[in-house]
Chains A and B, each alone.
Chain A
Amino acid sequence: MKPITAIALTVLLVGCGPDKELIMDTKFDAPLRRRIAALTTSEQTETLTILGKCVSTIDGIMRQQLLDAGASVETMAGDVFTAHVSSDDIFDVAALEFVTQLQLSGKSRLLERQ
């Protein structure tokens, strides 16, 4: 393993406890993992725009738990929600049992041909 890879891994693993490791592996998609890794390495915090999936259609109780965990929930579309959440709080959101996955919001562009 190259030194820089080892350093990055170490930062990640020290920065995250075993629970966080498990959450990153099981509940974060790859772009979110990369973003969290970058923020951990640079010791920065930012508000992330995410989409999340739950075990079932999101109801009022679940929404309140998401809010309590730090997610500013916007749209609830069946079992999927959109939210803004601080990178400091994202593990609390992911730790909710009914949350099965979090994805970092991608970006679209307009489709007129330049």
Chain B
Amino acid sequence: MRTNIVARSLLSERTRRQRLLKTILVPIVLWSATVGGLGADFAKGVKRVHFVGAPKHGAPIDNKVDPGLRYMANRYEAMQQSGSQHGASSARTASMYDGSRYFSLLPPHGDGIPRALVFMQVSDASNTMELERLGVQILTTSGNILVAEVPITRVYEVASLPNVLSILISGRSKRYLDLSRTQARVDQVHAGAGGLDRPYKGNGVIVGVIDSGIDWSHPDFSVEPNDARIQWLLDLSDSTTGTAGREWTKAQIDQGLCTEIDGQAAVGHGTHVAGIAAGGGKRNPSYVGMAPGSDIVVVKGTRSYNSGGGFLDADVVNGVNYVFTKTRAMNKPAIVNLSLGGHLGPHDGTSLYEQALSNLVIPGKIIVAAAGNEGSSYIHCSYAAQPGTGYTDALETPWKLDEGTSIALADMWYPFSGNISVGVAVYQVGNFTQPLAGTNPVPLGQFIDNVVLTDGTTNFGVVSIDATTTADPNNNARRVLFLIQDNPGSLPISNYAWSIYTFGNGTFDVWSVAGGGFPPVSALPIYFRPGDNNKSVGTPATAKKVVCVGAYVTKTSWVDLNGVQQTQPNAILGSISSFSSLGPTRDGRTKPDFVAPGEVIVAALSSSVSPPPQVVLQGGGLQKLEGTSMAAPHVTGIGALMLERNKYLSYENIVSILSSTAATSGVPNTYGAGKVQALNALLATPPSVDCATLSRLTGYDCDGNIILSYELLDAYPNPFNPATTIGFRLARPEKTELAIYDLLGQKVRTLVTGEMTEGFHQTVWDGTSDEGEIVASGVYFSRLSTPKFTAANRLVLVR
């Protein structure tokens, strides 16, 4: 039977080739004969049409097998025939797995035969014995429709079974999420094509999602029904078992006991994000996520059952730590997605939120964050203050409050070398020439608290300004917080136009954190400086060891639940999304690191939400969303593929590889290094190294634990008076001495002497000698010495 089929298809292939040859040769001959006259014909407007490709009749079995599948089956057989005659070409065969092509095959399972992913209509879905005998692997049964993998050499045999009514190759509708997969060259990685040694789907890697929750019952997050890929789910909105949230195990999820939902208030955000990063495509194979082979750990980070209310920074840190702790116990690498952010803080990686996240990142434990959606919003302003003594000398920035907002917050930072006085003024909307009222200037180091801004008759709002941070301990910068709130009993603050005014010296950055922005306003007086969209990448994407992802457009239309074609306004395929936040960070680092598909993206829809039908895909179960929230999980999933290849990759490795292999696109602080390309990144990812090599390179052991080391810490405070604390760390139990020396090398005081345990120790020096005498102001040195280690640090005592 099989021989006959092969013969028939080869005959078809030969016939096709002969006809193809004719279609090429005939026009060439015709063109050669009339080459002198063509130009004249075109000049006269004569339209020449060459009809090529003579139609032929198909065999009866062709009615069962769709043309795409026939094409792939015949092409594979022709390649095999050609290979046996001229030597096999693995590259040509590999091209059949190329997911960017309209039709493609899945790589072999072990029998060496590629497989086609198909939809198969059968008369009796319970009678699959003959299908299985032919090597068909049934993935999903839905009524009389099967989703199955079929060995490509047995397509016609399968089609000839009486039980089989029709077979359709999957992947013909290259749309939405699978379009973004193609753009990011993820399909090829899944197929093991393009020179890869094997397919990569994120197997053995944990994708962590800190988000609004997840629809854990969605088939995209299960291997099979009642076999969840979600290993752990921590629900912070459920305080049944304490403030640290309620934990659900895989076993409980499998049994359907989990009560967590991804609620309406967040439009199913977490489910969508998880679907992009790790969705298995069970609902619809066209919508497979980036790492469908990975396992998943989810933290529902909102404190609201219905998923509203935002995320406390500390909860995000706790959530990431939860994922890493769980995965460490499983001895697996992990990559955590944070499609969330805000604008409170210095935007330079030094806030404790940013530091904590960076501290959690070690080789094999990676964090990815969305850049933010303020690329077209005027949430930032920066200019050099000009000298002056009061409001009349000041420059101003219009601060437009959102309609209905009752509170507005802005956060200003500038270098220690500056000295800027600030204030807030209020105007009638549309008239920035004469303020209605204003605060007194607040000099560096001072504050005003809950000042009611009034002209004596009307109260406009309540203002607080805190300029008391003269040197933030983390970056030595100066900081000013501005807060405007409704005055009870008065008109809302959004009924007025506001401004921030400054004078002094120094260049500042100020971000609107909540309730408004600094947009250009028509007819502004010359002393006004409107805001911009620079440095609009939010926190935690500004952290020093968090991968930052912007968004570009890969899809502009979709067919909605009602079958209506919808179009995304103002989106140009391949261009940066207008909302994608811009870099750099305040300390000058280029951001985003790169961009990924983020507009519009179709992925899993939570069953707990009811979005408008216009955003739900025809057939249901999937919805379209856009945002850097959707771009980040593309990189999270691609990172999981890279970690499958090398589970010890560090943050620096991931950023370096994805940057060097990205498709260069344009302005660095818009596109970063460019558009991520998964295949190129996988090809550039070295395979895992052994533990000893890893330890030598990174300072971490294979469980991600820091290798114990010696360290003498800087004294704190320093300079000091009257006392300072000195910490040190030992790698092993040892005879140890910690002593203070003066500039002449004379020992002044012995603080520690004797056998000490390994780990951290600290002691206080009170500025006295061994004799108990108070020592003079000056420079001293702390010196730690053990048989294996010696170090010294400088101290300054100021009396």
Using a CB–CB cutoff of 8 Å, the interface residues on chain A facing chain B are: 2, 4-5, 8-9, 25-27, 29-31, 33-34, 37, 41, 49-53, 55-57, 59, 61-62, 74-75, 77-84, 97-98, 100-101, 103, 105-113
Across the interface, do A110 and B360 meet the contact criterion of CB distance under 8 Å?
Answer: no
Residues of A within 8 A of B711 (CB): 56
Residues A112 and B314 in contact in the complex (CB < 8 Å), given A4-B450, A55-B713, A77-B357: no
B796 at the interface (CB under 8 A from A): no
Quick check: B310 and A101 within 8 Å, CB to CB? no
A61 to B356, CA, bound (A): 20
Cβ of B125 under 8 Å from chain A: no
Give A68 to B359 CA distance when docked, in angstroms: 24
CB nearest to B724 among chain A residues: A97
Cβ A105 vs Cβ B356 within 8 A: no
Give the residues in chain B near A83, CB-CB below 8 Å: 314
Query: Are A78 and B359 interface neighbours, CB within 8 A?
Result: yes
Residues of B at the A interface (CB closer than 8 Å) are 211-212, 243-244, 266-267, 269, 272, 310-318, 321, 339-342, 344-345, 351-353, 355-357, 359-360, 370, 372-373, 440, 447-452, 464, 466, 468-469, 472-474, 479-481, 483, 538-540, 579, 599, 625-630, 632, 711, 713, 716, 725, 727, 729, 759-760, 762, 764
Nearest opposing residue in chain A for B309, CB measure: A107
A2-B451, A110-B269, A111-B629 provided; 7 other pairs, C-beta below 8 A?
Answer: A2-B440, A41-B450, A97-B716, A106-B539, A108-B538, A110-B212, A113-B579
Q: Please, which residues of chain A bring their CB within 8 A of the CB of B464? A: 34
Evaluate contact between B359 and A80: CB separation under 8 angstroms. yes
Specify which chain A residues have a CB less than 8 angstroms from the CB of B481 in the assembled complex: 30-31, 34
What is the predominant secondary structure among interface residues of chain B facing chain A? mixed
17 A-B Cβ contacts within 8 A?
Answer: A29-B479, A30-B468, A33-B468, A34-B466, A51-B317, A55-B762, A56-B760, A56-B762, A101-B474, A105-B315, A107-B344, A108-B540, A109-B342, A111-B372, A112-B267, A112-B269, A112-B630
Query: Which of B356, B447, B540 interacts with A82 by CB under 8 Å?
Result: B356
Considering the complex, give the chain B residue whose CB is closest to the CB of A53: B352
Which listed residue (A26, A55, A106) contacts B344, Cβ 8 A? A106
Q: Given the complex of chains A and B, what is the CA–CA distance between A11 and B507 in angstroms?
A: 34
Q: How far is the CB of B474 from chain A (nearest CB, A)?
A: 7
Chain A residues with CB under 8 Å of B762's CB are 55-56, 98
Q: A2-B448, A4-B451, A33-B466 are in contact. Are A111 and B727 (CB under 8 A)?
A: no
A contact residues around B341 at 8 Å (CB): 108-109, 111
Contacts of B447 in A (CB 8 A): 5
Chain B residues with CB below 8 A from A30, complex form: 466, 468-469, 479-481
A110-B629, A112-B630 given; A103·B352 CB < 8 A = yes
Q: Note all chain A residues with C-beta closer than 8 A to B632.
A: 111
Q: A29-B469, A110-B340 are in contact. Are A37 and B449 (CB under 8 A)?
A: yes
Select which of A56, A105, A113 is within 8 A of B314 by beta carbon. A105
Inter-chain contacts of A53 with B (CB < 8 A): 352, 355, 473-474
A43 vs B360: C-alpha distance when bound (angstroms): 37
| Residues in chain A near residue B628, CB distance under 8 A | 111
Are B474 and A107 in contact, CB atoms less than 8 angstroms apart? no
B43 to chain A, nearest CB (A): 51
A48 and B301 alpha carbons, distance in the complex (Å)? 17
